[in-house]
Structure 1
Amino acid sequence: MTKKALLVMAYGTPYKEEDILPYYTHIRHGRPPSDEALQDLTERYEAIGGISPLAKTTENQAQAVLDMLNEQDKENEYELFIGLKHITPFIEEAVQSINEAGIKEVVTVVLAPHYSEFSVGSYNKRAREEAEKFGINVKSVDDFYRQEPFLDFWVDAVQGAFKEIPAEEHDATAVIVSAHSLPEKIKEHNDPYPSQLEETAELLKSRVNLKNVHVGWQSEGNTPDPWLGPDVQDLTRDLDGTFKYKHYIYLPLGFVCEHLEVLYDNDYECKVVTDEIGAGYHRPTMPNTDSRFIQAMVNELLAL
């Protein structure tokens, strides 16, 4: 058996309220946020119960990937390391720990199904650059949204959501597929991210025979640059003006678990809009540690 490291990377989240300022400062490349911006973020966390459940869920997802990978790969034995983008353990710290463990072969996966140079690409680059310092070989998963188990999960999710809606109102139901917005400038470099989300929507449509599927973006950053749109809230209002849908099913499938962007940006902000227009709000449970979601990542890791 060959010993390898499994490096699972994710965005990271504050562990406690005191972490919010340094976390937000790191996201802003070392520039502290204004008091107003910090207060706004703190209030968003308070609105979902204090602090995001993301940290624990990331650990659970990483452990689930490790367990399944070790079970299915009969030639290698993996040890788990977690590396985060904006809070400790940072990606570089995780690679340093891999080096200290004496492991020279690493496979990596980011807890995000779609690829952008701006997101997953930046995680992989940080891991690779740190690994080069120690002569560690890195192989990385870029995306896993085409994996059948991933699609199976979301097929079941959207079908489950339709069961909450009277059959006679299915034709008056919109499905909004979304992911985290990124700056529009990524299009200048032919970044695959926008087309991958569109493709995911088409893959779902072909499997469920969905009629009213719309692609939106959410959770854009607070910067002067334009971000990918339409924003899901604006999209909902526009669709109401054009189609008068009675129900909206939100599938934030660019995300992987219940956290701030889903619990606040969808369950609070989008619901404000559906309440305002008198439509029903629906959002299936996120993948979290569902075995199909975990298998999608493991399939890609085994193929490296």
Structure 2
Amino acid sequence: MSDPDLPYDSFLLVSFGGPEGPEDVMPFLENVLRGKNVPRERMLEVAEHYKSFGGVSPINEQNRQLLAAIKAEFESNGIDLPVYWGNRNWHPLFPDTLRQMKADGCKRAIAFFTSMFSCYSGCRQYRENILAAQEEVGEGAPLVEKVRMGFNHPDFIATMASSVRRSLAELESEPAAATVLFTAHSIPMGMADNCDYVKQLHEASRLVAEAVGVDTWRLVYQSRSGPPQQPWLEPDVCDTIAEMDDADKLKNLVIVPIGFVSDHMEVLYDLDDEAATLCRERGIKMSRAATPGISAGFVSMIRKLVEERIGIRQQKDAAGTLGPWHDVCPSDCCLYTPRRPPPRAS
């Protein structure tokens, strides 16, 4: 939904949300998994992950910091847009944020989703969530349009390349002597088959490896949550570490959570805990590269993507061969119909 006659008058940071105390964990996970075919035992397992960190996900505080950094970046570059923040699964929820924006007189917002790669859960579902929130708020709810995906933006690639270089320095390893695993959240194959998630991840990983001078790298996945009989993207990060170490003893390993913009719970648990424990047990020197967070390059990228859409930046920067991604998602973009496994025979 768009109205080119209306000027952009606000910015919306769109994110996933996370619990901020032990009492929030189960209601949050029920929001996340509502309508999804995820076994209850998996939900309880994930709940324990959160509880091991005091029931607090780092994502909300990280988004507060990112919003403050974006506001400062806008102000220092002459962008006069008030900034707002809304989540899919926990407070501040989209309907509440849109109500506040409506009350403040906002008519048309430009949004950045905290997801750098295209798939149903990382893009289309957010657009559906916002549409539902607009319908809930009713007449006068602000229009919301998103910036293009920045997976191959030079500032993002440079930010991740710097992160990999810091990890290599921590390991005291030259790029050619280390193995690098780029990792992202796994998604169901039924979702992956209808989007460019894997293609974009491969391109971003290739560009970062090329910028650093890394020869040995792979793209792997983590954090799958579906039933065992449902196919999801593979290989798993821990399975890959074990297989590569068995085949040819790993010495220096850098894990790069390229699919995450900040240190989400999946990064802290699946990488800093499980993968790190596996590496210690096998005698592998491992460094987990930093996520973009509020690094200057990442915040600069967000500002430049906004400038493109509001018309004060004419050039659309993109590294590699895929070019700048589309501004407006096609109607059939990132469609997903979950594949339900057949019922078990009684």
Report the TM-score, using the length of structure 1 for normalisation: 0.89
What are the superposed Cα offsets for residues 184-241 of structure 1, whole Å, 9 maximum, x if unpaired?
A: 112332x011111000111112211111111001111243422111111111112112
Looking at structure 2, the residues matched to 32 and 196 of structure 1 have their Cα atoms a distance apart, in angstroms, of 26
Equivalent in the alignment of 1:105: 108
The answer to whether 1:91 aligns with 2:97 is: no
Q: For residue 201 of structure 2, what is the amino acid of its counterpart? A: L
1:273 matched to 2:281: no
Pairing partner for 2:299 from 294, 297, 300: 294
- C-alpha deviations, 1:83-105, integer Å up to 9, x for none? 11111222232222212222111
The alpha-carbon distance between structure 1 residues 251 and 284, as it changes in their structure 2 partners (threshold 3 A), is same
Asked if the contact 2:187/2:233 (under 8 Å) is kept, the reply is yes
Q: Which amino acid aligns with 1:178?
A: T
Cα pair 1:158 1:284 within 8 Å, conserved: yes
In the TM superposition, 1:29-178 aligns within 5 A as 29=34, 36-37=41-42, 39-48=44-53, 50-74=55-79, 77-131=80-134, 133-134=138-139, 136-167=142-173, 171-178=176-183
SS in 2 for 1:303: helix
Distance in 1 (CA, whole Å) between partners of 2:38 and 2:246 is 36
How far off its partner does 1:252 sit?
A: 0.2
Q: Distance in 1 between matches of 2:200 and 2:175?
A: 26
Show the counterpart of 2:259: 254
> Residues 303 and 134 (structure 1 numbering): CA distance in 2 closer, same or farther, change over 3 Å?
farther
Aligned-residue offset at 1:159: 0.9
Question: 8 Å contact 2:38–2:226 — kept in the other structure?
Answer: no
1:206 is matched with which residue: 203, 210, 213?
Answer: 210
Which residue identity does 2:208 align to in structure 1?
L
Alignment deviations for residues 139-172 of structure 1 (CA, whole Å, 9 cap, x no partner): 21241121222111111111111112244x7544
Query: Do the aligned partners of residues 143 and 31 (structure 1) sit closer, same or farther apart at CA in structure 2, a change above 3 Å counting?
Result: closer
Tell me how far 1:109 sits from its aligned partner: 0.7
The CA deviation at 1:31 is 8.2
Q: CA deviation at 1:6?
A: 1.0
* Distance apart, 1:260 and its partner CA: 1.0
Number of positions where the alignment pairs a residue of Structure 1 with one of Structure 2: 299
Indicate the SS of the match to 1:248: strand
* Matched letter for residue 254 of structure 2: I
CA distance in 1, matches of 2:290, 2:241: 20
- Shift of the 140–297 alpha-carbon distance from structure 1 to 2, 3 Å rule, reads same
- The match for 1:28 is 33
Q: Is the 8 A contact 2:186 2:223 kept in 1?
A: yes
Structure 1 range deviating more: 244-253 or 116-125: 116-125
Say if 1:114 and 1:142, in contact at 8 Å, map to a contact too: no
Contact 2:8–2:109, Cα closer than 8 Å, also in 1: no
Q: Following the alignment from structure 1 to structure 2, what is the Cα–Cα distance between the partners of residues 7 and 149?
A: 21
Residue 231 of structure 2 is aligned to residue 226 of structure 1: yes
Structure 2 counterpart SS, 1:264: helix
Unaligned runs of 5+ in 1: none
For 1:257, what is the secondary structure of its paired residue? Answer: coil
Change (3 A) 1:86 1:50: closer
- CA RMSD, Structure 1 to Structure 2 (Å): 2.4
Measure, in 1, the Cα distance between the counterparts of 2:259 and 2:265: 14
Q: In structure 2, do the counterparts of structure 1 residues 207 and 33 end up closer, same or farther at CA, with 3 Å as the change threshold?
A: closer
Q: Distance in 2 between matches of 1:240 and 1:175?
A: 13
Aligned-pair distance for 1:137?
Answer: 3.0
Greater helix fraction, Structure 1 or Structure 2: 1
Q: Which residue of 232, 245, 258 maps to 1:240?
A: 245
8 Å CA contact retained: 2:182, 2:217? yes
SS in 2 for 1:282: strand
- Contact kept, 8 Å, 1:174 with 1:249, in 2: the verdict is yes
- For residues 39 and 244 of structure 2, the distance between their equivalents in structure 1, rounded to whole angstroms, comes to 35
Moved over 6 A (4+): 30-35
Q: Give deviations 1:41-97, integer Å, cap 9, x for gaps.
A: 3331243455222211111112212321243245xx212221111112222322222
In 2: Cα distance, 1:134 partner to 1:223 partner: 41
Is the CA contact (8 Å cut-off) linking 1:174 and 1:212 kept in structure 2? yes
1:287–1:278 CA distance, 2 compared to 1 (3 A): same
Overall identity of the aligned pairs, in %: 23
Aligned equivalents of 2:197, 2:57: Cα separation in 1: 26
What SS is found at the alignment partner of 1:286? coil
Residues 24 and 55, structure 2, Cα contact 8 Å, conserved in 1: no
